[in-house]
Structure 1
Amino acid sequence: MKKIIVHGLRPEFNELITAIRGWAKAPMLEELENTLANQEALDKQLPKDSVNDEEALFRKKNDVGARSL
């Protein structure tokens, strides 16, 4: 059942699943459900930015490089 849940998650949860896989003891089904529900609630509280992290880092790097010219 846990495998079905994990494989059906949206890509936004990949980092969380990677972290859970690193746990010393695999979570029980109820723990997994609670962790995913908590993460989803947290994601809903965070403001959505139209620029992803990778793009922001790229822009910042280019801004620094342009200033040094």
Structure 2
Amino acid sequence: MRCIIIKGLRPEYNGFVSAIRGRLTHPTLMELESLLANQEMLARRMADISMKDEEEALFARTK
């Protein structure tokens, strides 16, 4: 089941997949769910931060 979930992830999760595969012990399904939830939350925060930076850059005045 873990392999099916990991293989079905989108390409933007490739770094996450590499980290999971590099672990000495594989996470349980519950741990994998928690790790994926944390990864998704981090991706959303990063997207929000980059969007705010772009907005500020659009309105920045140069001297």
Asked if these proteins are the same fold (TM beyond 0.5), I'd say yes
Aligned residues: 49
Residue in structure 2 matched with residue 6 of structure 1 by the alignment = 6
Structure 1: gaps spanning 5 or more residues: 50-69
The percent identity for this pair of structures is: 49
RMSD value, Cα: 1.3
Partner of 2:38: 38
Q: Give the structure, 1 or 2, with the largest relative contact order (CA under 8 Å, sep 6 or more).
A: 2
Moved over 4 A (4+): none
Q: TM-score, normalised by structure 1?
A: 0.64
Q: Which runs of 5 or more structure 2 residues have no equivalent in the other structure?
A: 52-63
Flag the structure with higher helix content. Answer: 2
Q: How does 1:18-33 map to 2 (within 5 A)?
A: 18-33=18-33
